[in-house]
Amino acid sequence: MNTIFFRIYLVLFAFTTQLLFAQEYPGGLSDGTLDINGNNVPVKIYSTTEMGDLTAFPDRAINNNVVVILNGSSLEPTYYNYAASALARFKDSKYQFFDKNFKLIDAPATQENVTTFKYAVKSAKPITDSDKVELETSFKIWDPSKGLHIGSFTLHFYSLMFVFAFGFGYVLMTRIFKIDNINQRYLEPLFTWTLIGTILGARLGHVIFYQPELFKEDFWSVFLPISTKNGFKFTGFSGLASHGATIALIFTTLYYSFKIIKKNPFWVYDRLGIVVALGGAFVRMGNFFNSEIVGKPADPNSPFALLFPQQSGEYGLTVPRYPSQLFEAVGYVLLFILLWILYRKTDKKYQQGWLFGLFFIILWAIRFFVEFLKEPQGDEFIQIGGLNTGQVLSIPFMIAGVVIMIISKKFKITPEENEKPEYIEKA
């Protein structure tokens, strides 16, 4: 047991040390090495999702060998004219182009082959087609496909993670209702109201707290998975805030509790919290696949350091960062396991509100501390004492969790009261 605690302390110490000594990156570029036929060539690494920045980059005076990671979003056939212009600027500046396997591309860019361009390399000595080239870094590079390509349709991993969150949530809540002997007909309305509250609340929460300008600039994108700002485009659901989802779920669950299942709301919250903890992990995995909600710059030698070439151009740096999405996801999985064990192995589920209060405290504590490692999400409209918007909004929820755990003593029920006959599934 002492060995386990020692390892936990060691991980926490390393985590804190990496936080305090995160590296600064002059010029906003990362360092790497090109292994060319066994010879190591130091290079600077650059990437951006902004076409304007990409087009202007060849004009930057950099006295180093350079590797530019080209983003697929910038080379879509739909934007071929812009991509061709940018690639022409690189070619005029003596850059060579390579595919994802670092095979030299000599052919000119066309609308048919532009998506095969993955790297633009400028080196003191031109690379030939017979050279074996590999990019090596002290950190990992996270540059995945954003989805599953089915013909001309792409199923984004972010959307898929939402499907998993609600799918597994439905299965888990079905199991919970069976354990508590609750008629399954009460499950469908709970699922419906949870879905509405999560999507609508999360979207409105993000826009209100982080991107209020959308109400004027692109009104329909606030409520629909589209963008009309620069022409009509299907974007899928993105820009979602957990604080907004939580507030909306509180109200939709109140309606469900009083009008549909007619049970104490805390009874529903206790069980819904278990499902939400697991769902939150899936959502953060979706953020990870989208290379969004990235962490602050990390030391390149840190075991946590990841380079996100697909990150939003708003950060302006091509540097390794903390995978803050994974930190949250792991925390939520552990919270789910804890809540499930307490629900199944203890009598705390009969103290209505206790599990929900614990859920609130731990969930928002995870969010609060991980925020120290996150880059700001848009404009920070709420800042108090050096805390960002996410942290300030998390504090009231943690306090509410403490209060709920205290008052839960007033809402104890017996196993017999928990399994009221009118709610029992009939054979």
Report how far residue 325's alpha carbon sits from residue 242's, in angstroms, rounded to the nearest whole number: 13
Question: Does 305 map to a domain?
Answer: no
Q: Show the domain range for 376.
A: 153-297+322-422
Question: Does 235 map to a domain?
Answer: yes
End-to-end CA distance of the chain, in Å? 47
DSSP 62: -
Residues 244 and 374 in one domain: yes
**In this predicted structure, what is the pLDDT of residue 232?**
59
Report how far residue 110's alpha carbon sits from residue 356's, in angstroms, rounded to the nearest whole number: 57
Residues 225 and 88 in one domain: no
**Tokens of residue 4, six digits:** 């386990």
Last residue of a domain, one of 82, 113, 137: 137
Q: Report CA-CA distances (Å) from 338 to 55, 203, 249, 280, 334.
A: 50, 29, 22, 15, 6
Question: Does 99 map to a domain?
Answer: yes
| Residue 236: pLDDT over 70 | no
| Residue 264: pLDDT over 80 | yes
Question: Does 302 map to a domain?
Answer: no
| Residue 1: pLDDT over 50 | no
Residues 191 and 110 in one domain: no
Report the range out of 59-73, 75-89, 292-306 with the highest average pLDDT. Answer: 292-306
Higher-pLDDT residue of 345, 10: 345
CB 141 within 8 A of CB 309: yes
**In this predicted structure, what is the pLDDT of residue 171?**
96
Residues 48 and 131 in one domain: yes
Question: Does 366 map to a domain?
Answer: yes
Question: Does 260 map to a domain?
Answer: yes
User: Mean of the pLDDT values across residues 274-293?
Assistant: 92
- The one-letter amino acid code at 378 reads G
CB 302 within 8 A of CB 244: no
Sign of the dihedral defined by the CA atoms of residues 242, 247, 250, 251, in that order: negative
CB 206 within 8 A of CB 239: yes
**In this predicted structure, what is the pLDDT of residue 411?**
94
**Tokens of residue 43, six digits:** 């290079």
How many residues comprise the chain?
427
Residues 171 and 267 in one domain: yes
Q: Report CA-CA distances (Å) from 220 to 195, 224, 235, 237.
A: 20, 6, 12, 12
Rounded mean pLDDT of the chain? 84
Question: Does 44 map to a domain?
Answer: yes
Residues 6+ apart with CB under 8 A from 152: none
Last residue of a domain, one of 105, 137, 169: 137
Q: pLDDT tens for residues 161-197?
A: 988 999 999 999 999 999 999 988 899 999 999 888 8
CB 33 within 8 A of CB 136: yes
| Residue 84: pLDDT over 70 | yes
Q: CA torsion angle for 309, 312, 317, 322 (degrees, to 10)? A: -70
Strand partners, 231: 229
In 63-213, where does DSSP find H-type helix? Answer: 80-92, 157-179, 187-210
Residues 218 and 167 in one domain: yes
Report residue 18's pLDDT band, with 50, 70 and 90 as the boundaries: very low
Number of structural domains found in the chain = 2
Residues 118 and 177 in one domain: no
Residues 131 and 178 in one domain: no
Q: What are phi and psi of 217, to 5 degrees?
A: -80, -35
CA atoms within 13 A on the CB side of 297: 16
Higher-pLDDT residue of 37, 27: 37
Q: Report CA-CA distances (Å) from 365 to 18, 246, 293, 304, 358.
A: 20, 15, 17, 21, 11
**In this predicted structure, what is the pLDDT of residue 198?**
84
CA 232 to chain centre: 25
User: Mean of the pLDDT values across residues 34-61?
Assistant: 90
**In this predicted structure, what is the pLDDT of residue 227?**
63
DSSP 134: E
Residues 265 and 413 in one domain: yes
Least confident span in 170-179, 246-255, 335-344, 418-427: 418-427
Report residue 118's pLDDT band, with 50, 70 and 90 as the boundaries: very high
Report pTM: 0.82
Of 248, 326, 321, nearest in space to 286 by CA: 326
Question: Does 243 map to a domain?
Answer: yes
Least confident span in 34-48, 250-264, 408-422: 408-422
For 22-115, strand residue ranges (E) read 30-36, 39-47, 65-69, 96-98, 104-105
Q: pLDDT tens for residues 129-163?
A: 999 999 999 999 999 887 887 776 777 888 889 88
Residues 159 and 291 in one domain: yes
Report the range out of 31-45, 206-220, 304-318 with the highest average pLDDT. Answer: 31-45
Last residue of a domain, one of 137, 165, 192: 137
Residues 162 and 130 in one domain: no
Residues 92 and 163 in one domain: no
